Amino acid sequence: MVEIAPSILSADFARLGEQMAALKEAGVRIIHVDVMDGHFAPNLTVGPPVVAALRQATDLRLDCHLMIAEPDRYLDAFVAAGADMISVHQEACVHLARTLNAIRAAKVEAGAVLNPATPVLMLTEVLPLVDYVLLMSVNPGFGGQKFIPGTLNKIRQLNTLRAAQKLNFSIEVDGGIGLENIGEVVRAGVDIVVAGASIFHTPNPKEAVMQLRRAASLASTAKG
């Protein structure tokens, strides 16, 4: 089953607890938390205190996407705050394998992230170390951007590498995904779809999630 992971980057922070409860009722199991430092990504968002507050407000899995410089310095803080999943950018890690091993040693799922301009082959040597790979389908920084079509080929390439190496990591995609294109990314091989504006910038986020799940399910059935 394809997971829909709402991104709180687009949420109403004044109603975050209420919205988390509604998303859980819609079948959501993962909440995507975008962490930006203004250096690696041109925006400032949340840090460990917000993750800790989310941990108190929900039992949903917290997928912390660290779009920050020197992520190794902050791993312990996000683990302590209650992250269930932590992903780091290949472009930001000097020793990516070491960083991934440190995340896994903390009993947290480890993810590697690629920006749109970074080829999938940059991860070939570390794929046995990841629990998931996150492909950015927009340039990091702001919600509401348009999906970059070339991401579909990257999903297919990663799917081929996964099968060739007989690995079980999940493929996640983030950016510009809504009802009009979720079927394409699912058919390309995605397991987790991050969606922000297409959920939270609607009159009824709960219903938006349910519609995305139905569309993903139909695409997954067609793929099979």
CB of 65 closer than 8 Å to CB of 112: no
Query: What distance in Å separates the CA atoms of residue 60 and residue 83, rounded to the nearest whole number?
Result: 10
Options 12, 34, 72, 84, the catalytic residue = 34
CB of 195 closer than 8 Å to CB of 9: no
Active site residue 34: yes
CA dihedral 43, 94, 76, 129 (to 10 degrees): 110
* Residue 106, CA distances (Å) to 79, 111, 145 in order: 7, 13, 33
CB of 168 closer than 8 Å to CB of 185: no
Options 37, 84, 174, 191, the catalytic residue = 174
Active site residue 174: yes
- Give the catalytic positions in this structure: 34, 174
